[in-house]
Amino acid sequence: MEFESVIGLEIHTQLKTQTKMFCSCKIVDSNSPANSSICPVCTAQPGALPKPNEKAVEMAIKIGHALNCSINKFSVFARKNYFYPDLPKGYQISQYELPICENGYIEISNKKIRIKRAHLEEDAGKSLHAIGSEKLEHTLVDFNRCGVPLVEIVSEADMRTPDEAYEYLTELKKLLRWIDVSNCDMEKGELRCDVNVSIREKGTEKFGTKVEIKNLNSFKAVKDALNYEIKRQTEAKLKGENIEHETRLWDASKGITVVMRTKEMANDYRYFPDPDLPPLNIEEEKIENIKKSLGKLPYQIKKEYVLKFGVKEEDIETITSSRYLNSYFEKILSFTSEKETIKNSLNIINTQVLGYINQQKIDEADIETKAPNPKFVFEIAKLLSANEVSSAGAKKLFEEAIKTNESPSILVEKLGLKQTNDLSEIEKFVKEAVELNKKAFEDFKNGNEKATGPIVGYVMKQSKGRANPKIVMDILKKL
């Protein structure tokens, strides 16, 4: 029997608003003193009333647009009831029957992964069982995170391999960062991921019993946990065992999943519309304006570049991965529309510029001010396309330009890196080289391209590295 896996993802992303979802408490990071940003609303004092954060609603609409969802003009906040010490109200405000966004999709490797829904909700607080390494006698609760706005994005079970799940996550994170609604730092809990996975006999339609996995705090953990779980379920099926409908935890140190609880059903949460909050009524015009404000999205830009410049998708992966890198590249496009120069610029960005950014640990948001001058990149790329500098020369120019902050078009002369395209000068050297390396020349004539090494070497030496290798080869072939 051959099996295939069926995978769906639930993502929680923390929105980058200044204040919380239903009160005006500032959002503070985890280093802030416990309970330093709380009020009667987010700690559920009697009589306190929630009021939705308009910015969070706008961000949810942005997310819906980016995920190709339909945005519901009318949506409803619902109470999801459960008891936990870090949830002072005894329920979480979420959206259930009428979410703000529905029926979207993300494209990965030319496959559409459908998005079932994306809805607004609030985060819970944090239980504190220890301070540092010291275990506390009582559990304490920090409500700073209580009421922080989240958007939950639920995919359909359209993924078939752990790799597809990984790709989906990567694409989603890229989009959320691009539209500036979340930083998506998994270590800080700004992006949280639960997966559900089942297996079924290949070729069948019916879903198997699904298992949910929690506690996945990196993309790698998602992939590893899925691989483990698919193997575990396949082995169980082959032994004739039943797969239990349950929630499991990923134990990264042991590389296994362990049972956490048998799955609760939605009706265990007793969802009902929150009587304290009127339904959200959003004007069509507002939805359209938010869409316009988004500008082009990375997947649209990618398609455009491929069409316009004839570049390969993998070459534009990085410059469409973040809006900062993209605006860096767009600056170069403001200097040139020449395809060859654009391709050379991309090459320089993908190797040297990114190398510099990583080495100097430049923050994405600082690319505009701290990355190498895009004009320099353009100038080097142009020299390359005009065959006025060799690729080795171009590398050196880049390094010197950063060091001296001098324009490469001036440096190329100063450093004597300008390649000569002077035919008669190169031809003279080539003829000398052929005289001195008769055997090599014979071999070359007999079809051994590699035999030209000593000939080219001589020409390079005589021209002090300025001879254009392409021209050298052209002359050799002619001879």
Report the nearest approach of Zn ion to the CB of residue 143 (Å): 8
The site for Zn ion (CB under 5 A) is made up of 23, 25, 39, 41-42
CA count, 13 A, side-chain hemisphere, 307: 6
Report the nearest approach of Zn ion to the CB of residue 272 (Å): 23
Helix, strand, coil percentages for the chain (3-state, nearest 5):
45, 20, 35
Nearest-10 Cα torsion for 354, 187, 150, 131? -150
The length of the chain is: 479
Report the nearest approach of Zn ion to the CB of residue 191 (Å): 23
Of 17 and 196, nearer to Zn ion (C-beta) is 17
Residue that is written with structure tokens 């998602």 in the block: 222
Of 39 and 243, nearer to Zn ion (C-beta) is 39
Q: How far apart are CA 140 and CA 96, in angstroms?
A: 30
Report the nearest approach of Zn ion to the CB of residue 138 (Å): 24
Of 23 and 165, nearer to Zn ion (C-beta) is 23
Of 27 and 456, nearer to Zn ion (C-beta) is 27
246: alpha, beta or left? (left if phi > 0; alpha if psi -120 to 50): beta
Of 42 and 472, nearer to Zn ion (C-beta) is 42
> Do residues 402 and 363 lie in contact, with contact meaning Cβ atoms separated by under 8 Å?
no
Beta 149-155 vs 111-122: how paired, if at all?
antiparallel
Which residue in 423, 104, 32 sits closest to 291, CA to CA? 104
Report the nearest approach of Zn ion to the CB of residue 267 (Å): 30
DSSP string, 57-78: HHHHHHHHHHTTPEEPSEE-EE
Of 41 and 195, nearer to Zn ion (C-beta) is 41
Return all residues near 448 (Cβ < 8 A) that are at least 6 apart. Answer: none
Based on its alpha-carbon atoms, the radius of gyration of the chain, rounded to whole angstroms, reads 30
> Do residues 8 and 158 lie in contact, with contact meaning Cβ atoms separated by under 8 Å?
yes
Q: How far apart are CA 323 and CA 325, in angstroms?
A: 6
Report the nearest approach of Zn ion to the CB of residue 23 (Å): 3
Q: How far apart are CA 176 and CA 190, in angstroms?
A: 11
Of 22 and 458, nearer to Zn ion (C-beta) is 22
Report the nearest approach of Zn ion to the CB of residue 79 (Å): 18
Of 42 and 172, nearer to Zn ion (C-beta) is 42
Of 88 and 372, nearer to Zn ion (C-beta) is 88
Report the nearest approach of Zn ion to the CB of residue 47 (Å): 14
Report the nearest approach of Zn ion to the CB of residue 38 (Å): 6
